[in-house]
Amino acid sequence: MPKNARRSKPLPARACPAILGALEADATYSLMRLGRSLAIAAGALVLLGAPAGYSAYWFALAGQVEQGIARWEAQRRAEGYTVAHGPAERGGFPFALAFTLPRPHIARPDPPLEWRAETLTLRAKPWALKQLTFDFPGKHTLAGTADGQPRLIDAVLGSGSLDLLFDGRGRADAAALNAAKVDARLAGAADRFQIASIRAVARRLPLTAPGAVSLETDSRIAGLVLPERQGGPLGRDISLVSALANVIGQAPEDGTRASAIKWRDSGGYVEIKETHIVWGKIEIKGSGTARLDADLQPNLRLDSQVRGGDALIDALLATGQMRLPEAIIAKGVLGALSRPAGDGGPPVLRVPITVRDGGRLYLGPVRIWRFAPLVWRQ
Beta carbons of 248 and 271 less than 8 angstroms apart: yes
| Distance (Å) of CA 259 to CA 15, 80, 206, 293, 375 | 16, 23, 18, 14, 13
Pairing of strands 11-12, 374-375: parallel
| Residue 37: how many other CB atoms lie within 10 Å | 10
Query: Using one digit for the tens of pLDDT, what is the confidence trace for 44-67?
Result: 544 445 567 788 888 988 998 889
Q: Which residues does residue 238 pair with via DSSP β-bridges, in sequence order?
A: 224, 279
- Within a domain: 113: yes
Closest CA to 374 of 311, 298, 312: 298
pLDDT of residue 188: 65
| Distance (Å) of CA 329 to CA 80, 333, 364 | 59, 6, 13
Is residue 6 pLDDT above 50, yes or no? no
- Within a domain: 100: yes
Beta carbons of 287 and 277 less than 8 angstroms apart: no
Is residue 281 pLDDT above 80, yes or no? yes
- Within a domain: 48: yes
Beta carbons of 275 and 257 less than 8 angstroms apart: no
Q: How far apart are CA 123 and CA 134, in angstroms?
A: 6
First to last CA, the chain: 34
User: Mean pLDDT, the chain, as a whole number?
Assistant: 82
- Within a domain: 361: no
Q: How far apart are CA 88 and CA 340, in angstroms?
A: 62
Q: Residue type for 241, please?
A: V
pTM: 0.79
Q: What length is written for the chain? A: 378
- Within a domain: 341: no
The domain in which residue 102 lies consists of 11-292
Question: What average pLDDT score do residues 280-289 get?
Answer: 93
- Within a domain: 311: no
- Within a domain: 378: no
For the ranges 52-61, 93-102, 143-152, 203-212, the lowest mean pLDDT is seen at 143-152
* 281 compared with 135, residue with greater pLDDT: 135
Locate all alpha helices (DSSP H) within 117-255, ordered by sequence: none
Beta carbons of 76 and 105 less than 8 angstroms apart: no
Q: Based on the structure, what is the number of domains in the chain?
A: 1
3-class secondary-structure state, position 264 = helix
- Within a domain: 213: yes
